[in-house]
């Protein structure tokens, strides 16, 4: 094992350390206090982004509750390097936003239509003109609602009433902001930035609210159950969904897959679901890029989500390459032995919380034996490439369902993406059951 491989888990531990995070927060708060600055955050809004649309409805009340000043920053053009499957994201995002809107009682068109690029630019030019105005939030909601409903008459009326900044000025501003956004360390709109940390979408406002509470702002009686999408709440009649099929597309290199794994098994146990775990190769090993800024945000975000769910995390050994391939090679053997669950949990926990390197025989043996598998028999699987065809079939099935990244869940014809959508998964299972009755 190289020195870099030995040091990487320790570096990851430092990056994800809760103690260091608290120290840095206290330091930033002290600087803010010494400068006499208000509690202030920046919100990156994009009118054709469903997650921005939902956040824009929540943030005014959030800001009032916590005494927080939130400055909107209007965006439109994003760096495509950060989005490995832009066309698929464009379709998946509104399908994802709709159940979130229902869950949080927010407004998103039931019969949405993708905004037309030219009209999205016009709406953005209008918002740029009113970025500093008090009525920005109401205007953002009105414009985005008209865009997503294809209410062209309503949109034109809003543009006539409120005006737009000149076309060339808008393009220069938007392109500059796109480049600055990446330099500042993020890539997703619908995101709020406060004192060095990023909070994407409604499902991360629980972390920001908790942080603000620690500063003595607001109260614990938050105006909204921000984290409610993350947790399933099995009802009393769980037998009604027994044997319903649920597919989980999973990657050994995905921290979010790891965070979802034990909770998915718990959900399946509660409901008696027929759960099928379908491993796929990481995006990088499928020719898709994950830039450094994105990797760093994901690591930090996964750490706080892990703490929320009491899942061990932080001492990470990146299994990219041989580590992933060796874990994938053990997969069919573990399934044949009836210990796939134990293998996936052992390997994921070792990789994401114990710094175990599965690219080495010593590391892989530790994980294999912890899963209750025989190492002398399991190691024979390393020379068998049959898993590659299975992984490719899983990737094709995931893509056909409308997904490209993990963890992805399929319930009938519905694709649910992300480890923070368990309430949506649960509702999708119930909807499917009702439709079959």
Predicted local confidence at residue 184, as pLDDT: 84
In this structure, are residues 41 and 68 in contact, taking their beta carbons and an 8 Å threshold? yes
The number of residues making up the chain comes to: 437
| CB contact set of 344 (below 8 Å; sequence gap of 6+) | 250, 261, 277, 279, 331, 334
Place of tokens 């965006």: 75
Query: What are the residues facing 74 on neighbouring strands?
Result: 45
Domain boundaries, the chain: 38-228, 231-436
Distance CA 177, CA 208 (A): 24
| CB contact set of 158 (below 8 Å; sequence gap of 6+) | 123, 126, 139, 142, 143, 146
Distance CA 19, CA 25 (A): 10
**Which helix (H) or strand (E) covers residue 43, if one does?**
strand 40-46
In this structure, are residues 238 and 87 in contact, taking their beta carbons and an 8 Å threshold? no
- Segments of the chain with pLDDT less than 50: none
Predicted local confidence at residue 229, as pLDDT: 96
Note if the bond before 407 is cis, omega within 30 degrees.
yes
Place of tokens 């718990």: 266
In this structure, are residues 205 and 62 in contact, taking their beta carbons and an 8 Å threshold? yes
Predicted local confidence at residue 285, as pLDDT: 57
Distance CA 303, CA 239 (A): 34
Asked, colleague to colleague, whether 38-228 and 231-436 share their fold, the answer is: yes
Distance CA 335, CA 275 (A): 13
Judge: domain 231-436, CATH 3.40.30.10.
Answer: yes
In this structure, are residues 45 and 141 in contact, taking their beta carbons and an 8 Å threshold? no
Architecture of the structural domain at 38-228? 3-Layer(aba) Sandwich (3.40)
Predicted local confidence at residue 90, as pLDDT: 86
CA angle 294, 295, 296 (to 5 degrees): 90
Predicted local confidence at residue 292, as pLDDT: 72
Predicted local confidence at residue 275, as pLDDT: 97
Q: Burial, 47: exposed, middle or buried (Cβ in 10 Å; 0-12, 13-18, 19+)?
A: buried
Q: How far is CA 117 from CA 175, 345, 354, in A?
A: 15, 44, 47
In this structure, are residues 283 and 295 in contact, taking their beta carbons and an 8 Å threshold? no
Predicted local confidence at residue 2, as pLDDT: 67
């Amino acid at each position: 094992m190289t020195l870099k491989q030995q040091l990487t888990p320790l570096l990851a531990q430092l990056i994800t350390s809760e103690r260091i995070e608290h120290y840095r927060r206290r330091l930033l708060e002290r600087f803010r206090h010494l400068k006499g600055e208000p509690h202030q955050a920046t919100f990156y809004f994009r009118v054709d982004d469903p997650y921005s649309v939902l956040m824009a409805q929540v943030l005014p009340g959030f800001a009032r509750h916590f005494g927080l000043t939130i400055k909107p920053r209007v965006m439109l053009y994003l760096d495509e390097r950060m989005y490995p499957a832009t066309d698929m994201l464009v379709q998946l995002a509104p399908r994802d936003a709709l159940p979130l809107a229902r869950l949080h009682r927010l407004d998103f068109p039931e019969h949405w239509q993708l905004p037309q690029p030219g009209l999205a630019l016009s709406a953005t030019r209008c918002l740029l003109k009113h970025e500093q105005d008090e009525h920005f939030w109401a205007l953002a909601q009105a414009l985005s609602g008209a865009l997503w409903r294809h209410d062209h008459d309503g949109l034109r009326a809003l543009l006539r009433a409120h005006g737009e900044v000149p076309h060339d000025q808008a393009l220069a501003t938007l392109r500059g902001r796109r480049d600055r956004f990446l330099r500042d360390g993020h890539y997703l709109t619908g995101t709020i930035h406060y004192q060095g940390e990023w909070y994407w979408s409604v499902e991360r406002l629980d972390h920001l609210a908790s942080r603000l509470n620690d500063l003595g702002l607001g109260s614990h009686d938050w105006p909204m159950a921000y984290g409610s999408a993350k947790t399933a709440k099995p009802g009393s009649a769980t037998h009604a969904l027994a044997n319903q099929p649920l597919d989980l597309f999973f990657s050994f290199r995905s921290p979010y897959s790891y965070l979802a794994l034990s909770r998915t098994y718990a959900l399946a146990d509660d409901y008696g679901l027929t759960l099928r775990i379908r491993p796929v190769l990481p995006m990088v090993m499928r020719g898709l890029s994950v830039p450094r800024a994105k990797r760093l945000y994901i690591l930090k975000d996964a750490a706080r989500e892990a703490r929320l769910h009491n899942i061990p995390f932080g001492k990470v050994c990146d299994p990219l390459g041989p580590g992933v391939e060796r874990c994938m090679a053990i997969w069919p053997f573990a399934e044949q032995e009836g210990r796939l669950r134990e293998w996936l949990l052992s390997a994921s926990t070792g990789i994401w919380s114990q710094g175990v390197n599965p690219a080495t025989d010593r590391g892989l043996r530790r994980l294999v034996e912890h899963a209750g598998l025989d190492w002398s028999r399991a190691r024979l699987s390393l020379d068998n490439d049959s898993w590659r065809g299975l992984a490719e079939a899983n990737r094709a099935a995931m893509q056909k369902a409308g997904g490209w990244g993990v963890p992805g869940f399929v319930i009938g014809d519905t694709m649910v993406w992300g480890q923070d959508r368990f309430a949506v998964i649960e509702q999708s299972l119930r909807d499917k059951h009702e439709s079959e009755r």
